[in-house]
Chains A and B, each alone.
Chain A
């Protein structure tokens, strides 16, 4: 059938290779009958050359300049036939481009035909299959052709309502690279699939993968690694060395299998994507792709041609330029359509709301397009709503009632309350109820609540260090944020003082319990449930080793913490009163209990004064069966305990004790459904620096 297509024959020979004018769309390298269609664009180049390599060989096999008739507008397209004659096939072909044009940095142009450039649309990138291996000097990141023959077996996204999500942020390599992980394929997508039972058991239903687009882990001037990977090289290609099958060129299949297996287990996959900058850095950085293809289009430039640096990494992608906007859209559609991913978290997303000259836009075209795109309609869109140039948009990020945000104010409020700062009770109350004061009609699901993330202290370190300890990063401890709102509980770093350790144990649980009983979407940092430490380093981006890998042996030492987290997640999933799409009403409607009510030492009498260190909240929701789902959460950051007068539970129910962080394990958190009944239904004792959670359950009145 394919043989009779009329466009499947060459019309020209270039360098002896049979070719014809290609199709401008789709961009990238696409297998077509009899050959491969190559399409690349540049609005400022004057000439373009396709460079073909045989896999594994340093020097190009053949270079094919595009004749003028193969250019349509700014798009250069060519179909190459007869790969067989060249001794190539889809597997062994690698390609790049040379773009010619002016080198006039003051005008924004940095063309250099001496450089071979990676296709921005390359679906597969060769050259970095082995983590940490030295890179080729001539053309280190090589475009390859990906085949789309994966068997999805009727895969369907879990489609979890946002209010039901419990997100777990993890690093693909760090999750299983440590020898203690016990997996067959450490540090890879396949290794992560092997840990799926652990995640199912823990109860999370969404993983947020730190960057998985091809990046260069050797991109660190201080001789360390770039372990986190916020320096994208290839936006359409999965990181080859994250695939155990990378040396086979099957990283696409291995990552798709990860998504398929996670979906089968009811877990969504969200990707952390970095569109604010690229791996090309500033003037001193390498020309990998964009700089050489069309610097002035892809980057935000000052009037004299220098790079704006809103990302803090040297360059800023020109996201609201129409061409770049389409590129970002195409890229995300690719991941949603081809990889079935369930959402995206956008690194330094405030950059995506800036105009080409850096002006902050009220109605940024890119963000609007993403919010309304049909392919992305069901994808979760999560913004890190700030950038490195001081733009802080938590609550004001242009959301189109579609975007959620990493809620930095939530993080700081919980941290400050727990460490005992004064004047934080009112703020905490607003944060625990979905931050509707800042998100308004967007509801609590606009708020991704977290206390820790990859960026900063781990939870254990948050209660073990007052200051960051980043000396190993090679910048004399200047890097990393100093505003951590952390408290070491009386001793900086490791100690065997039992009082300090007991307090840390409790503080960790206070943070987790508040996080997992708040309205909004909770996000956990992988390893916090195992007591993971980075020894006070709050910016471990550059460490590929035990400091940043998860040590699974911690699971034994911190078995109680793991059980605590597991029970609290299960509790959240049991109680609709904690998982709200819309903001909770603070007043009674039709005689029902208010959806949220505030309490203190005395029921119905919260203490909002600046010196208050105690707050209690009762969440209630009407269940499908007409009864109440009712949960009472009290948090005390005072160093003394208090007796709390309890509000009456709904009629026909009595208070049961789910969790008390002042209690010794296993009484710190009970198994949901098996909570012991409170002996005294009128009052309860909350310990010093403790959090407790009660649940109203049916039961006979006290005898």
Chain B
């Protein structure tokens, strides 16, 4: 199964909905989208990942890539992360950089 990624940019927030598998082979495509979001001057990146069947360390590295590319102070939000991925993000210290939320509803409510 491959990665399906759709981006929507609205008022400085880039929202990317991902489904399928995010791994070392598909991660470069997500990085390209992130670059597009940066080019469109996004200040907030929301990744909807609850439909991902698999996310490897390459997917987690996309968050590092986004953190380095986005302007300082930009927010990165990860919605619907599976527990094992959330745990890995915490253990590698990325939880200081990325906001993790359980569901899009909550994300929308807080936005």
Binding site for B on A (CB under 8 A): 84, 89-92, 147, 149-151, 153, 184-185, 188-190, 243-245, 248-250, 253-254, 256-257, 260-261
- Known pairs A190-B90, A245-B91, A253-B93; list 14 more (Cβ under 8 Å): A89-B23, A89-B58, A92-B25, A147-B61, A149-B61, A151-B67, A151-B97, A190-B91, A244-B87, A245-B87, A248-B60, A250-B57, A257-B93, A261-B93
B12 within 8 A of A: no
Interchain CA distance A89-B61 in the complex, whole Å = 14
Q: Are A91 and B92 in contact (CB under 8 A)?
A: no
CA distance A254 to B87 in the complex (A): 11
Within 8 A of A (CB), among B66-98: 67-68, 87-88, 90-94, 96-97
Within the assembled complex, what's the spacing in Å between the Cα atoms of A204 and B97? 28
Known A-B contacts A185-B91, A245-B88, A245-B92; the reply to A89 vs B57 at CB < 8 A is no
Residue contact B24 to A92, C-beta cutoff 8 Å: yes
3-31 of chain B: CB within 8 A of chain A: 23-25, 27
- Bound complex: CA of A215 vs CA of B91, how far in Å? 22
Q: Is the interface of A mostly helix, strand, loop or mixed?
A: loop
Question: Least Cβ distance of B97 to chain A in Å?
Answer: 6
* Minimum Cβ distance to chain A for residue B69 (Å): 11
For chain B, give the interface size range.
20 to 34
Set of chain B residues within 8 Å of A245, measured between Cβ atoms: 57, 87-88, 91-92
Contacts of A254 in B (CB 8 A): 91-93
Report 10 cross-chain contacts, Cβ distance below 8 Å, ordered by A residue: A147-B61, A149-B68, A150-B64, A151-B64, A185-B91, A245-B88, A248-B88, A250-B57, A250-B91, A253-B94
Q: Does chain A have a CB within 8 A of B53? A: no
Q: Which of A89, A90, A147, A257 contacts B91 (CB 8 A)?
A: A257
Alpha-carbon gap, A256 to B97, bound state (A): 15
Asked whether A257 and B92 contact (CB < 8 A) given A89-B58, A90-B58, A150-B64, the answer is: yes
A103 to B98, CA, bound (A): 54
- B26: nearest residue on chain A (CB-CB)? A89
Contact check, B93 vs A249: say whether CB atoms are below 8 A apart: no
B91/A243 in contact, CB under 8 A: yes
Q: How far is the CA of A184 from the CA of B90 in the complex (A)?
A: 11
User: B24: shortest Cβ distance to chain A, in Å?
Assistant: 3
CA distance A261 to B61 in the complex (A): 19
Contact of B25 among A89, A184, A257 (CB under 8 A): A89
Contact B91 A149 (CB under 8 A): no
Q: Is the CB of B93 within 8 A of A91?
A: no
Contact, CB under 8 Å: B60 / A250: yes
Question: Bound state CA distance, A189 and B94, in angstroms?
Answer: 15
B88–A151 CB distance below 8 A: no
Q: A149-B64, A149-B65, A151-B68 are in contact. Are A91 and B91 (CB under 8 A)?
A: no
Please indicate the chain A residues that have their CB under 8 angstroms from the CB of B91 in the complex: 185, 188-190, 243-245, 250, 254, 257
Q: Which residues on the B side are within 8 Å of A185 (C-beta)?
A: 87, 91
When chains A and B are docked, how far (Å) is the Cα of A256 from the Cα of B93? 9
How far is it, in angstroms, between the C-alpha of A624 and the C-alpha of B45 when the chains are bound? 52
Q: How far is the CB of B29 from chain A (nearest CB, A)?
A: 12
A-chain residues with CB within 8 Å of residue B25 when the two chains form the complex: 84, 89, 92
Query: A250, B23: Cβ atoms under 8 Å?
Result: no
Judged by a CB distance under 8 angstroms, whether B56 is at the interface is yes
The interface residues of chain A lying within 8 Å CB-to-CB of B23 are 89, 91-92
CB atoms of B64 and A248 under 8 A apart: no
- Nearest 3 A/B pairs, CB to CB: A89-B24, A257-B93, A91-B24
A residues within 8 A CB of B97?
151
Q: Which residues of A contact B64 (CB under 8 A)?
A: 149-151
Nearest residue (CB) in B for A243 is B91
Chain A contacts for B65, CB-based, 8 A: 149
> From A188, which residue of chain B is reached at the shortest CB distance?
B91
**Cβ contacts under 8 Å, B67 to chain A:** 151
CA of A253 to CA of B92, assembled, Å:
5
